Amino acid sequence: QIQEPQLQGQDVGMQCEDDRTGIGVETLKRAFLDNLFYVQGKFPALATKHDYYMALAYTVRDRLLQRWVNTAAIYTQEGSRTVAYLSAEFLMGPHLGNNLINLGIYNQVQQAMTELKLDLKELLAKEEEPGLGNGGLGRLAACYLDSLASLEIPTLGYGIRYEFGIFDQIIRNGWQVEKTDKWLRYGNPWEIARPEWAVSVKFGGRTEAHKNAQGRYQVRWVPHKVVLGIPYDTPILGYKVNTANTLRLWKAEAPESFDFEAFNRGNYYGAVDQKVTSENLTKVLYPNDETYEGKQLRLEQQYFFVSCALQDMLRIMLRQKLPLEQFHEKFAVQLNDTHPAIAVAELMRLLLDEHEMDWEPAWEITQKTFGYTNHTLLPEALEKWSLKLFSSLLPRHLEIIYEINWRFLEQVRHKFGTDEGRIGRLSLIDENDGKFVRMAHLACVGSHRINGVAELHSELLKKTTLLDFYEFFPEKFTNVTNGVTPRRWIVLSNPKLANLITSCIGDSWIKHLEDVQQIETFAQDPGFQKEWQQIKRENKVNVASILLDRTGVKVDPDSLFDIQVKRIHQYKRQHLNILHAITLYNQIKQNPNLDITPRTLIFAGKAAPGYYIAKLIIKLIDSVADVVNKDPDIGDRLKVVFLPDYNVKNSQPIYPAADLSEQISTAGKEASGTGNMKFAMNGALTIGTLDGANIEIRNAVGAENFFLFGLTTEDVGALRLTGYRPWEYYEANPQLKQAIDQIASGYFSHGDRRLFKPLVDLLLDKDPFMLMADYQPYIDCQQQVSQTYRDRDRWLQMSILNTARMGKFSSDRAIREYCQQIWKVKPVPVQLAAAKTGDG
Ligand code: F58
């Protein structure tokens, strides 16, 4: 059934179904074949699947461009207030499917492909995803761009165009092996390079004083090297609106002049060398998750993209003839964690040195410009740069930071008197153990708003990590609970569920997720329940075939699909989940006739390449899987599978197929989580701790529709204080003891006792994430899950209510809150008219 096109570019009177904008099936077919011929240079008999994908991508891009150019023209004309979202990571996922949804042409394109004897699904699968992020933080940025465009908020996303994104993961002999992600190998149809807007970025060298034309002393930065930043723009279309915002990613290149200088001196290799080192800057994404690494190249990346972004904003202001004094009125700049925090010093430098502004007005503009979002409480993730490194790379910025710090600490003294302890804790410079610049402190001082990403997290920030800042400027602190876009995470990933919901309540929920509440009236309707169950089953059959294809493990779609997919980290406790798997295994072995609820445990996620324990956890999952899956006594009652290479594309079928979502981090450690939201929206029930957004999800769906277990944040703190002795739990609990002893004795490692020793020792000795304490409550809670699953009607009702009550967790809600509380920006609707020129 083909829906009538909702957006009709051809209706504005200028043309009718032309091949670049038309969205009728015949037009789409013609445009597609035209692109196959003129862009790919192929005729059908010679075309590969990839050629067809490219032809389709260009066909869709043409339809985006019309909206993109119009959007830029209107923003330029109106000088609209604009959000600049600065993020070292944007984990966009494949563009094609999402653009089809947001353009409202999925069905037409599907029909066009079918009529050409092509399978749209196969073509969608050909897209190499831009994996320009590690996990939650990068994906959040992508969801926010979708919502910003859908809410018609003028936005520029600024980041880095990494040549290699997050590594591809393969599993060899149970171990993670990393492969470089060559996502640009076959070209990227979604981006347009804008070399005309390239900027220069300086590094190293020294500063000197000079007198300006008015005889005033100014500082000049004489750099050691200069790198060019080339912007690459990708259109970000909103859902069924004409707004197409811009994601502007910067690539580093060597400036031509440098090559020539070296070349003229006869140093050909020197010239090439310069080019190679410059281009290294944006080569690769650092694959760390939740840990900070003090690498020079990382600081260079951060400064590079931030400087490019701010220079670009200044260019836009000049082009729009806006005075620089209005910078904070034109732009609301959000710092996605501290990775772009150097922006505070860079904006000061640009205003002071390049535009000769005085300190006070420059500082006022700076503070009014920035907002800072914190994403973690883990101490190992807090960025600090050694003064030695910092001063050698950014000598001018260090001077500015000293000045900011001096003035700030004066204010602290004024408010609190000379409390040296407090002053030391607040200082932008850490002098405890070597000297470091504390990036979170720079972000706090330089921003007018500081937010955490879930209620608990924002409270903990005020009580712990940022306590001193909270006491100094409480008015800056706020919370914005994360959200995810229902367009990608329901409509695109779970079309059957989306259609069922729409058939009952209409499609307003896609833009206003609160409306999905209306399906509550169907929660006990047997007909609706049956369709709900049928869709879940089809989604599980789909994942079962993916698992068979990628891992060779055959699973039963009627078993309970119990899923944990996220980065592998000790605090996320994939190993607690594995202890449950071992416990179930032992129960069946001890009682071979045991009538348990059949389960399939699915894991996926990448470990940071240098994080040994996380890699060992993957090996443990694989080893347990190997024993369990091959044991004839176990049969279909338990299966354990590790799906390799978790990324956005591979995750899309997963959420819709889950019965149970594992959100089992140690309380107080997971800032928010966003996977928890994607699962619950797709009708999975959650087993989880009182951590991050789990708390708010439980409040929204109702305690009776959520499986809660484990220590609270307060419990964790108290237990630490009174002395935590993990081995006591082990000794007191025979089931736990058996599981740990099996891991230690080589039961899962062909008798190798050394393999998992580091993990076992860690659990019995320090157990930093308190698995031992949470083990029994977790096992008991899982037992309840199994019981509940046997009551199909009850489970279905709980599942439906979970989806129905997830309205709050749309990223549209989160973005509305940012707009109101932090950015003070309003929508600027875009009407389609004949294409005009504009500069974005
Ligand atoms: C994540 N952080 C939080 N950091 O862990 C998660 O709870 C939250 O939902 C999400 O942010 C969005 O707010 C996260 O993903 C990183 O990946 C950083 C990348 C750069 C190095 C340090 C970690």
Whether residues 47 and 166 share a domain: the answer is no
- Looking at the structure, do residues 63 and 152 belong to the same domain, yes or no? no
From the CA of 457, give the closest atom in ligand 1: 7
In the numeric block, which tokens belong to residue 133? 């992020």
Ligand 1 centroid vs 463 CA: distance in angstroms? Answer: 20
Domain count, the chain: 3
Q: Whose CA is nearest to atom 22 of ligand 1?
A: 290
What pLDDT, on a 0 to 100 scale, did the predictor assign at position 763? 98
ipTM of the shown complex: 0.98
Q: How far apart are CA 97 and CA 56, in angstroms?
A: 11
| Structure-token match 């809600």, residue found | 813
Q: Are residues 164 and 86 in the same domain?
A: yes
DSSP helix/strand/coil, 578 = helix
Q: Give the pLDDT score at 310.
A: 99
- Specify the ligand 1 atom closest to the Cα of 482: 13
Ligand 1: atom nearest CA of 290 is 23
* CA 376 / ligand 1 centre spacing (Å): 7
Catalytic residues: 375, 566-567, 572, 674, 678
Residue 645 belongs to a domain:
yes
d(CA 514, CA 804): 8
Whole-number pLDDT of residue 765: 98
* CA–centroid distance, residue 649 to ligand 1 (Å): 19
Query: Which runs of E-coded beta strand occur in 196-310?
Result: 199-203, 206-211, 217-222, 225-237, 244-253
Instruction: Kindly state whether residue 313 falls inside one of the protein's structural domains.
Output: yes
Could you tell me the distance, in angstroms and rounded to a whole number, from the CA of residue 571 to the centre of ligand 1? 13
Spell out a b/e string for 780-807, using b for 16 or more CB atoms within 10 Å of the CB, else e: ebbeebbebbeeeeebbbbbbbbbbbbb
Domain assignment present for residue 10? The answer is yes
Q: What is the pLDDT of residue 16?
A: 63
Tell me which of 286, 339, 376 to substitute to probe ligand 1's pocket, judged by most ligand atoms within 8 Å of the beta carbon. Answer: 376
How far, in Å, from the CA of 579 to the mean position of ligand 1? 26
* CATH number, position 740: 3.40.50.2000
Is position 489 within any domain? no
Residue with the nearest Cα to atom 12 of ligand 1? 137
Q: Rounded to 5 degrees, what are φ and ψ at 266?
A: 85, 10
List b or e across 272-291, with b for residues whose CB sees 16 or more CB atoms inside 10 angstroms: eebbeebbebbebbbbbbbe
Q: How far is CA 417 from CA 420, 472, 476, in A?
A: 9, 12, 21
Question: Is residue 471 one of the residues assigned to a domain?
Answer: yes
Q: Give CA 234 to chain center in angstroms.
A: 17
The predicted-structure confidence for 432-460, as pLDDT tens digits, reads as follows: 989 999 999 999 999 999 999 999 999 99
Q: Domain range spanning residue 606?
A: 525-809
> What is 679-690 written as a DSSP string?
HHHTT-EEEE-S
Ligand 1 pocket test target in 162, 290, 566, 694 with most atoms within 8 Å of CB: 290
What is the number of the ligand 1 atom nearest to the C-alpha of 381?
22
What is d(CA 607, CA 289) in angstroms, rounded to the nearest whole number?
8
Ligand 1 centroid from CA 672, angstroms: 9
Structural domain contains residue 513: no
For residues 207 and 295, membership in a common domain is answered with yes
User: What atom in ligand 1 is closest to the CA of residue 88?
Assistant: 20
Q: Does residue 116 sit in the same domain as residue 186?
A: no
| 442 Cα to the center of ligand 1, angstroms | 19
Residue 330 CA to ligand 1 centre (angstroms)? 29
Mutate to test the pocket of ligand 1, among 85, 87, 89, 137 (most ligand atoms within 8 A of CB): 137
Distance 668 CA to ligand 1 centre (A): 14
Q: What residue's CA is closest to ligand 1, atom 19?
A: 289
Distance (angstroms) between ligand 1 centre and the Cα of 388 equals 27
The last residue of a domain, from among 423, 448, 482: 482
Which pLDDT belongs to residue 801?
A: 98
Ligand 1: which atom is nearest the Cα of residue 291?
Answer: 22
Ligand 1 closest atom vs CA 673: 9
Mark whether 155 and 107 lie in a shared domain: no
Q: Is residue 586 a contact partner of residue 736, using CB atoms and an 8 Å limit? A: no
Structure tokens at 54: 């490219």
Same domain assignment for residues 261 and 366: yes
Q: Are residues 40 and 148 in the same domain?
A: no
- Residues 426 and 280 placed together within one structural domain of the fold: yes
Q: Cα(290) to centroid of ligand 1, in Å?
A: 6
Q: Is the dihedral of CA 389, 393, 394, 396 positive or negative?
A: positive
Q: Which residues of the chain have pLDDT under 50?
A: 1-15, 835-840
Nearest residue (CA) to ligand 1, atom 17: 289
- By C-alpha distance, which of 260, 343, 278, 335 is closest to 307? 343
On whether both 90 and 106 belong to a single domain, the answer is no
Strands 217-222 vs 192-193: parallel, antiparallel or unpaired: unpaired
Opening angle at CA 141, ends 380 and 155, nearest 5: 135
Measured in angstroms, how far is the CA atom of residue 671 from the centroid of ligand 1? 8
In a shared domain, residues 202 and 291: yes
What's residue 257's pLDDT? 61
Residue 781 CA from chain centroid, whole number: 30
Confirm if 497 and 535 have CB atoms less than 8 A apart.
Answer: yes
CA of 381 to the centre of ligand 1 (A): 9
Enumerate residues lining ligand 1, CB below 6 A: 134-137, 140, 288-290, 292, 375-376, 381, 453, 482, 670-674, 692
Question: Within this chain, do residues 762 and 628 fall inside the same structural domain, yes or no?
Answer: yes
58 lies in a domain?
yes
Atom in ligand 1 nearest the alpha carbon of residue 692? 7
Pocket test of ligand 1: the residue of 375, 382, 465 to mutate, having most ligand atoms within 8 Å of its CB, is 375
Residue closest via CA to ligand 1's atom 2 equals 137
Residue 512 maps to a domain: no
